[in-house]
Structure 1
């Protein structure tokens, strides 16, 4: 090719990785390859346990010009032969001597626990796989998705020079428009497949079926403060206060449904606690009211009942921390990754996961003709007031 001639070839790159833990990273890599006029192909979009799918995967690797591997904190699902599907793809690519670009996470210990292997066996398999890949000639280490995208862009450009491939070339100037149209269609289809693949992430993570959830009860202590007015005393002495600890129980669904609306965008842990406390006061008002009157009899109880002016409650902080940890373990909430000001950096912010959003929608959505319930909490409190009770 003459020195200044334009290379119109387009290269197909097989992108291999686990999926749910590297969804954002894959999107960045695919976008980068598209900007470089490459054709990304990712056969993990096919059901990995399907023998026909594995045949298709091998054929697409055969047809690809380059093989690109991304390794994060998970080894991934394994075949009947007890080998991970991502490792099978890598082994096949090296077997047929396909040029391999490998990108390994630089600090696996820094990866969020929700995106790492949970078992010793999985961690051992991952470490062995990493060690195998490190022997390859072209391995780069990445720390975040932007860092990864930069490595991919530089490595791909080098590969097209050092490892020339057949690629795809326009047949003639007359077919240029057709080729560009096909390229646009390919990009659109890749985006559609990525979107479809994201849908299964809206399900409970593996292993959560062993955790307390749903209609199972969770008990915790609440500290409530109440006050009443005693008209028999001078005005400046009329208002009196009382404090009590009270153990209360609710289902995990009730707890999550009361917090979820706050997390549609994101919320601090303090705001999440306030939402649960507001729900507790609203839906367990009668129990709490009775507890405030406990120990008083006859006229004294009746007077307290009629003059109770307010009740406020606080959930035990340790108990609420356990609740947040449990919702996180169930895959319903996750730490927000938005950047914060120095003043807000010390606070914990949470948001709904895709599974949390799907589950919250199921809990809170009202069926036609249904009566309001815990799943359709009203925005205005319907808790009885002391005057109502009297």
Structure 2
């Protein structure tokens, strides 16, 4: 196995986040990441921060209760670094305090204008970033990083950095893959195979089984649970359909499903933890999510609808799915609809 390392750019509002930044950096280093970032910003440091973002593999935003120091344009340096990371299509993950108002008053912005900008920026991240996780204590932050950074590697794979002494192993692996690819091409006669041809259509009452993880809270502690879930395809269409009435980025598949699992997860969690009183951070298995998207496309319920200005793939429900949602065909299997923020 190759010894890979990944570069992570950390952006925060400033010095008031120093304790969280230390925990984040130390946890990332222990997991094999290289962490970069600037704690003090000036107009001259902006170019250096952009070079670091250009060279990094992932961008981590650590948000507490401040918007932070602003540039001459009135936009915060942290906000500018986020915008630049998006334009460079860097995978972004956000760790934000779950209750900013509960933090010490000295950790808040001094003016109402900055506090308003902070709230707007926080809402922007919650809406636009696919991977957003909350914490309350430093221990929560460490656990959230340990749990979710490996999922970032799986969801957004990058080349990373390989130790020089392992470069020969990498070349050998590339040669083996090339040889295997040539063999496969010869076997299929260089034909392009549509992955949907081998995928049968499903009926509305058929059941889709999948795994998801979530944090369950009981007696002041939390435990990560693995839960096996079953939903009919009628239920899945009910959950996802309204999200894609208009062209919507692909990552909203996971946003909507995880939102729904957070809503219903308490009942699932109580099977293992009968006294659980709350759940959070539900994450559907990535492979199951991919299978879900493929099946919905194969059933002609969803179709690609171009790309947005950030070059994200957009999806939209088809007329067929829209008619199903408007008809009574889903009523027998329809589940409670949870209001989506999207």
* TM-score, length-scaled by structure 2: 0.47
* TM-score, length-scaled by structure 1: 0.42
Query: In proportion to residue count, which structure has more strand?
Result: 2
